[in-house]
Structures are given as structure tokens and as C-alpha cells.
Structure 1
Amino acid sequence: MIEPFANNHQSMQIGELVIENQTDKIIIYGDIDLQLNMLGHEQAQQLHELTSKILQAFDKNPDYSKNVPESKGKSDLPDESIDNPFL
């Protein structure tokens, strides 16, 4: 199990779901089929433990709301209007 936000080199996998640890974010991608069997129960338990640890990390760092990332949609746009070339 990873320690959320602790380092930039941990990762884990649950089914085909990949969880990568970073000091400023947790990256989750892939998919998982939770079937109603023992493996599904085990995977659901791992997801529950992981999300609980992530939430505990937020609770331990109340300053997380001050770390609002800059919008990617506006970061590279000029501050001036331009004519639409398709009109």
C-alpha cells in the first residue's frame, strides 16, 4: 500500500487500476471489475483502505485548499482578443 503524497516513486495496482504516488497528487488510471466473489471483495477492500489513507492525508494537511492549481485552460491564452479566421 502506498503512503499518499509521501514521495514521487511509489505505485500500486488493483486489478487493471494503476495508482501512482506524487508529493502533490495521486494519479489513478485504468479500470477495475469488482465481481461478487472473493477477489472482488479483496480488491474492494484495497480500494477502501487506499481512499481512507488519501482522505487521512488531506486531514493531516489542512493547508491543501491553499494549493489551488492554475487553470490549464487559461494559462497559455493571450490577454487580448483576436479576430476569428473562420468568419
Structure 2
Amino acid sequence: MIDPFANNHQSMQVGNLVIENQTDKVTIYGDIDITRDKTGRAAIEELHQLTSAILNAMDTQNLDAPSNDNNDRSDTTIANPFL
């Protein structure tokens, strides 16, 4: 299990979902099949624990503060090396 918003190097996988931890966001991508069996039950329980941990982490933070890492774009402009 990741520690939401604590660092920029943790990741985990649930089914084909990839969860990447960053200090300003948690990125989730991929897909998962929640089947009506023990495997599906285990997957949804893990997702439930993950989303609960994310909510708990958000409850301890000031959500009104502006995000420093809200996108992956740099604020600097670089010269085009192909020109």
C-alpha cells in the first residue's frame, strides 16, 4: 500500500490498474475487472483501502492551498533543438 502524497517514488498495482504516488497527486490509470468471486472481492477490498487512505490523507491537508505540482509541464521555455 502506498502512503498517499508522502513521496514521489511509490507505486502499486491492483489488477491492471497502476497507482503512482506523488507529493501533490495520486495518478491511477489502467483497467480492472471486478468479478463476482473471491478474486474480485480481494481486488475491490484493496481499492477500498487505497481510496480510504487517500481520503484520510486529504483530510489532514489544507485543500485551499494552491497545488505546486498540478500538472507535468515545466514553467520554463527551452529552445527547440530541431530548428
Same fold (TM over 0.5): yes
Match of 2:13 in 1: 13
Are 2:63 and 1:64 aligned? yes
**Larger radius of gyration, structure 1 or 2?**
1
For the aligned residues, what is the CA RMSD? 1.7
SS at structure 2 position matched to 1:9? coil
Q: Per-residue CA shift, 1:14-71, capped at 9, x if unaligned?
A: 000000000000000000000000010000000000000000001011x1222257x9
The residue type equivalent to 1:65 in the other structure is D
Of Structure 1 and Structure 2, which has the larger fraction of its residues in helix? 1
Give, in whole Å, the separation in 2 of the partners of 1:59 and 1:50.
14
Of Structure 1 and Structure 2, which has the larger fraction of its residues in strand? 2
Q: Which has the higher contact order (CA 8 A, sep 6+)?
A: 2
Match of 2:31 in 1: 31
Size of the alignment, in residue pairs? Answer: 70
SS at structure 2 position matched to 1:6? coil
Are 2:54 and 1:54 aligned? yes
Match of 2:42 in 1: 42
- Aligned-pair identity in percent equals 54
Q: Structure 1 length as normaliser, TM-score?
A: 0.75
**Alignment CA distance shift 1:18-1:48 (3 Å):** same
Give, in whole Å, the separation in 1 of the partners of 2:58 and 2:24.
11
Unpaired runs of 5+ residues, structure 1, are: 73-87
